[in-house]
Amino acid sequence: MFFTRHGLHRGERLTMSKAATQTQSESTDEIILTDNTGFRRDLLFAIAALEQDMSEPHGLAIKSYLEDDYREEINHSRLYTSLDKLVDRRLVEKNEIDGRTNAYILTSKGCEVVQNHAERRAKQVGLME
């Protein structure tokens, strides 16, 4: 589970890193998710979900997971360009599995962004206080 991988138990929150915090009133997900497209946000959530089932999700597994929601084929270029942007922003770590396959896992910062965004949305629809 991605929470456990990042030293969290259900219900616990990561503390924001100073590098991710521009002002005291801004949360990490507001800074990062406004810079990301909806597709990149969906990639973060897909990686988090897949980390629960496999140790290191690879690109094609992420693509397949998203295609279930998008109900259309996702272009390889779009997928890998977006994954690279998430790596550049230090939200995802890219690890080589073999010469052709890379694994993508959430960094602590990526985990924090996913958790904060999920909690904010849950509060907006009355699922959390």
Domains of the chain and CATH, by start = 26-124 (1.10.10.10)
DSSP β-bridge partners for residue 102: 96
d(CA 81, CA 77): 6
User: What's the mean pLDDT in 11-36?
Assistant: 44
Instruction: Write down the pTM of the prediction.
Output: 0.73
Q: Is the pLDDT of residue 17 over 50?
A: no
The pLDDT, as a whole number, for residue 2 is 47
User: What's the mean pLDDT in 40-61?
Assistant: 92
Confidence at 49, pLDDT banded by 50, 70, 90: very high
Residues with Cβ within 8 Å of residue 100, at least 6 apart in sequence: none
* Rg of the chain (C-alpha set): 15
Q: Which residues of 9-22 are buried (b: 16+ CB within 10 A; e: fewer)?
A: eeeeebebeeebee
Residues in the chain: 129
The pLDDT, as a whole number, for residue 36 is 64
Residue-wise pLDDT for 77-126, tens only, equals: 999 999 999 999 999 999 999 989 999 999 999 999 999 999 999 999 99
Q: Is the pLDDT of residue 23 over 70?
A: no
The pLDDT, as a whole number, for residue 113 is 93
| pLDDT above 70 coverage of the chain, percent | 72
Higher pLDDT, 94 or 13: 94
